[in-house]
Amino acid sequence: MSTVDLTGQVALVTGGAGGIGAAVVRRLAKLGARVAVVDLDAAGAQRVASSAGGIAIAGDVTDPAVMPSVVEQVEKELGRLDVVHLNAGVGGGQAGVDDALDVERYRKLVGVNVDHVVFGLCAAVPALRRQGGGKIVITASLAGLAAMPADPLYTLTKHAVVGYARAAGRALADDGIVVTALCPGFVDTLLLGAAKEEFDAVEFPLLTPDDIAEAVQEVLAEGAPGEAWIIQPGGQASAYKFRGVPGVGGGQLPPDVVLGRV
């Protein structure tokens, strides 16, 4: 596994009170970073931050005003910002393919899984530019690369996140800001809900939060702008190889082509 030294650097992790977020906070602290733990669960954020020698910030990341306020507080209290892990996420909880759509739950899903990523990235970029660059890792999912018929709405949000990371990564590369998406398979966290029993019944292998923290370390060390990294149980984190798309006249555009506006 690649190593990365974060001594003297400051990191921010959303959804850091438990699961993947808490594991990543611990890993970043071990690598030398001072970490700001952001979560709606104030007590949980404080518990994780205290254990990692960081600071806790409570807030609803779906609120457009929260992430700018978080970044401002991080710079004020910790002096800078170098690494951002936009990790907060929720499950779909409904199919979203019939007339029985619970709009309130749908808005929450999009708010956490998509809006918070946009709010967080836009808030972080000026702070990273002040340091001459930095790293932004976005927790996506394999559902951002392949269809998950059991949860079409979750699939929608994670496809959006992967596309955003790919485009934003190219847009910000010249600023020295590396934006990448991390797309894990099923992880043993509370997000699985009742499906955990089904996975256990058939002895389906699951990733652990520590597996994802290790993958985040690998992405921070080796990730390139706009890449989407995958990780599955028993495997090593690696960059996903996208195919190109048809171009004008039947030619093939490479997967990393910069598309102009028409």
Q: Which of 106, 154, 164, 240 is catalytic?
A: 154
Q: How many CB atoms lie within 10 A of CB 244?
A: 12
Contact 46, 18 (CB under 8 A): no
Task: Respond yes or no: is residue 240 known to be catalytic.
Answer: no
Residue 63 DSSP one-character state = S
Which alpha helices (H) appear in 40-151, and where do they start and end?
Answer: 42-52, 66-78, 103-110, 116-130
Q: Which residues of 208-221 are buried (b: 16+ CB within 10 A; e: fewer)?
A: ebebbbbbbbbbbe
The whole-angstrom separation of Cα 36 and Cα 124 is 13
Only one residue has tokens 């104030």, namely 42
The whole-angstrom separation of Cα 175 and Cα 129 is 7
The whole-angstrom separation of Cα 163 and Cα 167 is 6
* Element containing residue 171 per DSSP (H, E): helix 152-172
Instruction: For residue 171, give every residue at least 6 positions away whose Cβ sits within 8 Å of its Cβ, in sequence order, or none.
Output: none
The whole-angstrom separation of Cα 37 and Cα 92 is 24
Would you please indicate which residues are annotated as catalytic (active-site) residues? 154
